[in-house]
Amino acid sequence: PCLFYIGHSCMPFITLDTAEKILQAAPEYCLGFYTAEDEQVELIPRFFEYYFKPLANMCLRYGNKRCMTKNKGLWWITSPARPPVFDALFREGRNRITMAATEDSNSRTPEMNLMGRGGLWQAGLIQQNDVSIHSDLFSFNRFHQWEYPRVGHPYLRLLVAHATLGMTQVNSRIREYTSTRETADIETLGKESTGIFFKLLGKGLVFSPKPEDALGYSTVGLVMHPPPGDWLEDAHNGHSPEKWVEDEQLHQAVIPHNGSLWGMTNTPDHALQKILFNKQRQFGYQVPPTPYGLVAIVPAETDLSQVKGVKSWWHTDGVYAWKDGGSRLTGMEAATRMQADFAEAAQRLPFQQHGEPVFLNSLRVAQDHYRLFLIDPGWLDPADHEVTIEIHLEGEFTAQDTLNHRELSIRENRFTVDVPAGLFTIVDVRRIN
């Protein structure tokens, strides 16, 4: 059984008639179809209205086959904000079979792309989510495509973190095996990444949550409105760093500098991704720190009442940010106001972290049983972390470092846990009274 790869760059490889013939000829073996890197700004609405939408309708008719698009940059917050794309992906039952995927190679905003997919999951707009890893996730310069890391821990951390935001499929495109015609042997790279991850899945230690059981989200969310054209061109520039244009308005944008610049470029102090995710440079935040919790980002046509866990909203078009009825803000003024709101909301998280921030998500396993995933976010500079967790729930609790079977002492609703460099810690918290 397989997914058929049928398009790239908003260009179909096959006609819709051919796709239907595949579905008719292989009703069991054809799991669905996917396209990749559909980032051409001017072509996206037409491609999704006249190709992806009828393809998705066909997939519905033939037994809910998957219809996936895999994209980098800011795609999963910008494209669904464009009305024809929102319609093609989510309306008339297509949300049941639309599968969201990323290929964040040379991406300068993987943390935002992740929060966009997470927001769609929390809103019920997607029910199929692909968690994928690629060899070239380490490329931080478009002029030199480096894709030969020899350690697995960055991939392992990505898989665990992304799975906790919703996952129905895993896709691995790394050099984890040495294969011949007769054999396929897993290498160290695979043993340190997918090998461990699949064992964690098999044991039920890592799992994909229902939206209502994902408790790591801030009660403040972000609504994405259709962005202006020049900002959108930069946001979707995943392949052409030579197209940089100096623009003061874009520099002061709430989400600035999103194209494929040199990855070591410093993230501006006013950037949303810096104030919310402690981002210091444009490369390497596939697993972001979450000092104020995860942030659900959803398109403007979303029914906001259906987004699990979010109570209030900021709005943005990429350049400006505003609250309902409020002034449109940009630069440091927007950053200061938004950071204050998210910091205040963090005090209402069921589990709030203190100290040097790590990636934290907390999932409900069962009534009175919670599982916390604390992950070192440092791709280029992994480091040990000591994190204090404050419990904002009623009752008395126990906490256990799940992988080490070690009880953690809770005093005044707080406990401290170590997160090792390049790895993660899983903590099970249970209410006992």
**Domains of the chain listed by start with CATH number:** 2-209 (3.20.20.80), 220-346 (no CATH), 351-431 (2.60.40.1180)
For residue 126, the model assigns a pLDDT of 96
In angstroms, the CA 25 to CA 21 distance is: 6
Q: The pTM is what?
A: 0.95
In angstroms, the CA 293 to CA 296 distance is: 10
CB of 228 closer than 8 Å to CB of 222:
no
For residue 343, the model assigns a pLDDT of 98
Which residue(s) pair with 417 in the sheet? 387
Dmax over CA atoms of the chain, in Å, equals 66
Nearest in space to 370 (alpha carbons), one of 219, 216, 218, 217: 216
Q: How many CB atoms lie within 10 A of CB 380?
A: 13
Ranges of residues in the chain with a pLDDT under 50 are: none
For residue 223, the model assigns a pLDDT of 99
For residue 415, the model assigns a pLDDT of 98
Please, what's the b/e burial string for 127-142 (b: 16 or more CB within 10 A of its CB; e: otherwise)?
bbbbbbbbbbbbbbeb
> Which tens digits make up the pLDDT trace of 33-49?
999 999 899 999 999 99
> Cα angle at 26 between 25 and 29, to 5 degrees?
170
> Which tens digits make up the pLDDT trace of 299-334?
999 999 999 999 999 999 999 999 998 999 999 999
* Residue keyed to tokens 């997914």: 3
> Which tens digits make up the pLDDT trace of 343-396?
999 999 999 999 999 999 999 999 999 999 999 999 888 999 999 999 999 999
For residue 47, the model assigns a pLDDT of 98
Sign (positive/negative) of CA torsion 180, 184, 188, 189? Answer: positive
In angstroms, the CA 53 to CA 66 distance is: 12
In angstroms, the CA 118 to CA 298 distance is: 9
For residue 147, the model assigns a pLDDT of 63
Nearest in space to 275 (alpha carbons), one of 263, 292, 260, 250: 292
Nearest in space to 149 (alpha carbons), one of 157, 374, 70, 167: 157
> Which helix (H) or strand (E) segment is 5 a member of?
strand 2-8
Nearest in space to 47 (alpha carbons), one of 12, 81, 22: 12
* Residue keyed to tokens 């403007």: 300
